[in-house]
Structure formats: structure tokens, C-alpha cells
């Protein structure tokens, strides 16, 4: 998979993944704008084949430092057909939200992900995950960024079959979206079986 921006000159001068994560965890680019302060939450893995690009941590994820450690994560794991242990421990599954820190509360849910993260870090992290075969774009923010589309989320998700590889657009699994799930029964009937089949195939042990 190609990074979301051109690679900088001097490829061999790029930091190792460990060094990059140290830099990310020390990031203070928008510290003054974060109500709970910076606590970047991201889990890249060099052998990842599946990448989950979500929105931004909520308060529970901020408190624990564990991505998708909330009811949204429970629903997402059910969508994928994977258990909690595999979700976090499988070296083939990586997690990289659009915004790495909790952005604060808005009038109807959390605020949008901070816009600084993706341009600053996504391209560098993708460089360290060269084997990605499936990238789940969870929510409108990830879809706008990676699909470069102005289409509504429902249209993006409904067109999952024609999304450019390796992308697979999904709605956010938040309990706030229960009404969306009820209005769009095709998602559970058609999209989720295809998603589970792709994930199962992707995560199947490689024969020796």
C-alpha cells in the first residue's frame, strides 16, 4: 500500500518504527487544544495485513490507552468475527486512527479528530506496514481522507464492492449509530458477510 503522501527524500534515513513511536508518543502539536491532554493511541505492526483506520479515541480509550476498548470496539470485533485477544495480539492486525488523541466533547458526541495527525504521521507509519492487503475505513473522516470523496458515508459504504483496493468503507460501530443500522438492513445482510469472509481469509494461518 502506498503512503498518503510522497515519501521523503533519503529513504534509508527514515526512523525505525520504534523510534517513530517514541516521537509520536511525545507529540505535543495540539496539546493546548486537547481537554484531557495528549495521549496518542495507535498500534502499527510491521507484519500487518489488516489495518483499521478509525476516528479518534473516546474517553475510555484515552483513560486506558487501549484502542477500541469500548462498546464500539465490541461491535467492531463482532463485525470482523474476531475475539478480543486476537484483535489486540494478532501481528496481522494494526490500528491507526485519524486522530491519535481524544479531541473533546461536542454538541452531539465527540469532536472531529484533530486534523494534524494524519498529515504528520500516517505516511510515516504506512511505510512500516508494507504488507497491508485490507484497510478498513471506519467512519466518514477516514473515508474522506483516503478515498478523497465528498460522497455521504452511506453511499461510500453501499459501494464497498467498488472501493479501490485495499480499502473497505464501514460506518462507525458506535451505539449512537443504531438508527443508521436499522435504516440500512443491507449492511448486516450483505456487507458484513463479505467483510467477515475477507478478514477470515486474511487472518488464516499461512501454510508452511
Arithmetic mean of pLDDT, 133-142: 98
Model confidence at 1, pLDDT cuts 50, 70, 90, reads low
Percent of the chain with pLDDT over 70: 92
| C-beta neighbour count of 48 within 10 angstroms | 25
User: How many C-beta atoms lie closer than 10 Å to residue 30's C-beta?
Assistant: 15
Q: Quick one: cell of 151? A: 460522497
pLDDT band at 18 (very low <50, low <70, confident <90, very high): very high
pLDDT band at 207 (very low <50, low <70, confident <90, very high): low
Nearest to 5 by CA among 93, 117, 91, 171: 117
- pLDDT(12) > 70: no
pTM: 0.92
Query: What would the pLDDT profile of 21-44 be if each residue is shown by its tens digit?
Result: 999 999 999 999 999 999 999 999
Q: Is the pLDDT of residue 3 over 50?
A: no
| 159 pLDDT more than 90 | yes
How many other C-beta atoms are found inside a 10 Å radius of the C-beta of residue 161? Answer: 9
pLDDT band at 13 (very low <50, low <70, confident <90, very high): low
What does pLDDT average to over the chain?
93
Task: Give the pLDDT confidence score for residue 14 in this predicted structure.
Answer: 72
Region label for 131, one of left (φ > 0), alpha (ψ between -120 and 50) or beta (otherwise): alpha
Long-range contacts of 124-127 (CB under 8 A, 24+ apart): 124/3, 124/14, 124/15, 124/20, 125/17, 125/20, 125/42, 125/44, 125/96, 126/1, 126/2, 126/3, 126/4, 127/3, 127/7, 127/14
pLDDT-based confidence at residue 202 (cuts at 50, 70, 90): very high
pLDDT tens figures, 67-125: 999 999 999 999 999 999 999 999 999 999 999 999 999 887 899 999 999 999 999 99
Amino acid at each position: 500500500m502506498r503512503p498518503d503522501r510522497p515519501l521523503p527524500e533519503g529513504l534509508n534515513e527514515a526512523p525505525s518504527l520504534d523510534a517513530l513511536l517514541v516521537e509520536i508518543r511525545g507529540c505535543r502539536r495540539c496539546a493546548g487544544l486537547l481537554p484531557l491532554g495528549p495521549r496518542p493511541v495507535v498500534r502499527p505492526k510491521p507484519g500487518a495485513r489488516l489495518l483499521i483506520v478509525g476516528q479518534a479515541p473516546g474517553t475510555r480509550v484515552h483513560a486506558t490507552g487501549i484502542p477500541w476498548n469500548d462498546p464500539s470496539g465490541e461491535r467492531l470485533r463482532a463485525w470482523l468475527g474476531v475475539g478480543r485477544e486476537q484483535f489486540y495480539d494478532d501481528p496481522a492486525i494494526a490500528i491507526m486512527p485519524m486522530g491519535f488523541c481524544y479531541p473533546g466533547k461536542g454538541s452531539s458526541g465527540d469532536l472531529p479528530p484533530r486534523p494534524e495527525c494524519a498529515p504528520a504521521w500516517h505516511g510515516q507509519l504506512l511505510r512500516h506496514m508494507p504488507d497491508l492487503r485490507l484497510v478498513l475505513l471506519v467512519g466518514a473522516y477516514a473515508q474522506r481522507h483516503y478515498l478523497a470523496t465528498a460522497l455521504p458515508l452511506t453511499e461510500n459504504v453501499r459501494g464497498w464492492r467498488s472501493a479501490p483496493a485495499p480499502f473497505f468503507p464501514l460506518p462507525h460501530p458506535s451505539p449512537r449509530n443504531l438508527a443508521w443500522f436499522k435504516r440500512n438492513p443491507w449492511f448486516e445482510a450483505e456487507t458484513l458477510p463479505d467483510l467477515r469472509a475477507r478478514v477470515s481469509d486474511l487472518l488464516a494461518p499461512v501454510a508452511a
